[in-house]
Structure 1
Amino acid sequence: MPNERKRGGKQGCKRNLQAEKTLYKSIYQIELARGSSYIASTCSPATQRIAITEVFQEFHLRYGPDTVSIFRELLAESLRQRNDLPAAQAVLSFEPC
């Protein structure tokens, strides 16, 4: 019985995380579309890094630091949906200030 509780707890956490991601995805819809479009349009690793930096700086100025990590996950997800896996990986490995 204790094992069932643990499994249920993990599923509950997973559901909560998914619900949180869904909520923030709707809140940041414009930033995600604009940011993923801008990053995907870059032609070199150097311009990609610049674009990623600018997207995160703008996000930080607008929303503050509290939700940067969830924005990073959602931005990478958006880039994966555009079939830009290298850009998605670059976003996930980016360390915002």
Structure 2
Amino acid sequence: MPTFGRDGELYTISYITGPRHVWLDVQFADEHVTDPEIVKRPPLGACNHGGLSPCQIVEAVVAGAEGSGKFPKRIEFRENDSPDYVLYAHCSRLLARHAATDGA
């Protein structure tokens, strides 16, 4: 089950499904962003799921927000998130809906 939050201009989500997890923070813009900023944050906890591809995270987050009218401007992920890019897209879709209804 996802947990949502807000940290300034960042919309935050933590999504934990058993051994898989994603902690994702996204700042959205109202207009298309050509090259979203990507930030790797320190790990949360002691687990290690292998390496993550920042390029694949950006692709998944941008794809997840598609059609929402919100465009990822800054994307923050945790170093030890699960390399589940479908889950990143799902989390981005949920965050974009929150941002679209929040008036941000």
TM over 0.5: no
Structure possessing the higher relative contact order (Cα contacts under 8 Å, 6 or more residues apart): 2
More strand by share: 2
More helix by share: 1
Under a length normalisation based on structure 1, what TM-score does the superposition of the two structures give?
0.30
Under a length normalisation based on structure 2, what TM-score does the superposition of the two structures give?
0.29
